[in-house]
Amino acid sequence: MLYELLFPLTKHLSFLNVFQYITARAAFAAITALLISFIIGPWIIRKLEKHQIGEEIGNRGPESHQKKRGTPTMGGIIILLAVFIPTLLFAKLDNIYVQIIILATVWMGLIGFLDDYLKTIRKMKDGLVARYKLAGQIILGFIISYIIFHTPEFAAFKSSTSVPFFKNLELDFGLLYPLIIVLVITGYSNAVNLSDGLDGLAAGLLAIAFTVFSAIAYISGRVDFSDYLNIIYLPGAGELTIFTAALTGACIGFLWFNSTPAQVFMGDVGSLSMGAALGTLSVLLKKELLLFIIGGVFVWEATSVVLQLTYFQYSKRKTGEGKRLFRMAPIHHHFELSGWPETRVVIRFWIIGLLLALFSLTTFKIR
């Protein structure tokens, strides 16, 4: 970490003491991530174009999406580089919370990279076999569970989660908690992946969600603030603020290139890693239930797919002909096929995401 390297100089250069404060390091991390995205974005996009790593648009999607065929993908590399460089510079790397969130993000980033590689370079239509992808997500969940159950820092609340709207109420899952962790990480990793179907949609929603988690991480790591707001006090969790701030900056920076008409898509390397980061943050900060509100749009997107498939199979068994609840799932395609322009869908989903984010913060006082 940069501060640890500069620490001996603080006796002579007092202004370096600013790096002692999480808020300052988080601000530097966010700005650095944003600038890195702006700087490396055009270079990575050119490299992707040069190697013809472009998006393949299936025939099942809206006809209007065919014009996006060939748009560079795997742009999630921009986000990951923009996140990890400031994290290495400004976060305390010996902090267990930081280590776990890095593990989750890198793990799913590699799985997403392999999936994108197989689809775009090896020209395998379906990419990484779904069961292998799911196995990777499940293994990650159990690894994080093992760390939490065998690390002293998590001893007090290792299998608990806070319940929104109720003061000082924690729900203890006991030995079922590893399964909860697996479900959260797998669920949100796939939910973000499903939401990444319109220009700027996932990146904007992620920036909003990570901003909320920046506030939660900072409050959770402060004994005074957590006591005042009746939030579980988690010593050391404040260091996650640096990582979440970097995530916010990186997503906003990526949005510069991903907004309509997109110059690049994040691909699975971006969506799977960001979804895993989102789910893991909720686990580490004991906000798994609150994430249903913070990431409400992601939940809505994933639920629409489940409902569509379930109803189609049910109606096919009953009538011999499969019927659909929506024009198309995920739900953002339903609105597109209902006549909404892509930009209208994206902006309205952002507005919903922002309102849910603000509402999630009010739950700390509405009890």
DSSP-derived secondary structure for 52-83: T-BPPPPTTS-GGGGGGTT-B--THHHHHHHH
Whether residue 293 is predicted with pLDDT greater than 90 in this model: the reply is: yes
On whether residue 340 sits in a domain, the answer given is no
- Domain for residue 359, yes or no? no
Residue 298 lies in a domain: no
pLDDT of residue 55: 77
pLDDT for residue 6: 61
Q: Which of 63-77, 161-175, 278-292 is predicted with the least confidence, judged by mean pLDDT? A: 63-77
Task: Tell me what pLDDT residue 56 has.
Answer: 74
pLDDT at position 72 is: 94
* Residue 355 in domain: no
∠ CA 270-275-280, nearest 5°, is: 130
The yes-or-no verdict on residue 1 having pLDDT over 60 is: yes
pTM for the whole structure: 0.94
| 194: pLDDT strictly greater than 80 | yes
Q: Which of 200, 193, 206, 197 is nearest to 336 (CA)?
A: 197
Asked whether residue 47 carries a pLDDT value surpassing 60, the answer given is yes
* 323 is a domain residue: no
Do residues 243 and 235 lie in contact, with contact meaning Cβ atoms separated by under 8 Å? Answer: no
Between 119-123, 166-170, 199-203, the lowest mean confidence (pLDDT) is in 166-170
Residue 139: inside a domain: yes
Q: How confident is the model at residue 7 (pLDDT cuts 50, 70, 90)?
A: low
For residue 287, tell me if it sits in a domain. yes
Q: Which residue has the higher pLDDT, 346 or 69?
A: 346
Q: Mind listing the pLDDT tens digit for each residue in 243-264?
A: 999 999 999 999 999 999 999 9
Instruction: Give mean pLDDT, residues 313-341.
Output: 90
Assess whether pLDDT exceeds 90 at residue 316.
no
Q: Quick check: is 336 in a domain?
A: no
Task: Give percent of the chain with pLDDT exceeding 70.
Answer: 93
- Of 113, 274, 276, 265, nearest to 200 by C-alpha is 265
Peptide bond between residue 330 and the one before it cis (omega within 30 degrees of 0): yes
∠ CA 252-40-202, rounded to 5°: 30
What is the count of structural domains for the chain?
Answer: 1
Give me the percent of the chain exceeding a pLDDT of 90.
77
DSSP E strand boundaries for the chain: 160-162, 170-172
Range of the domain at 270: 2-292
pLDDT bracket for residue 66 (50, 70, 90): confident
13 has pLDDT over 70 = no
- Read off the pLDDT band of 209 (50, 70, 90): very high
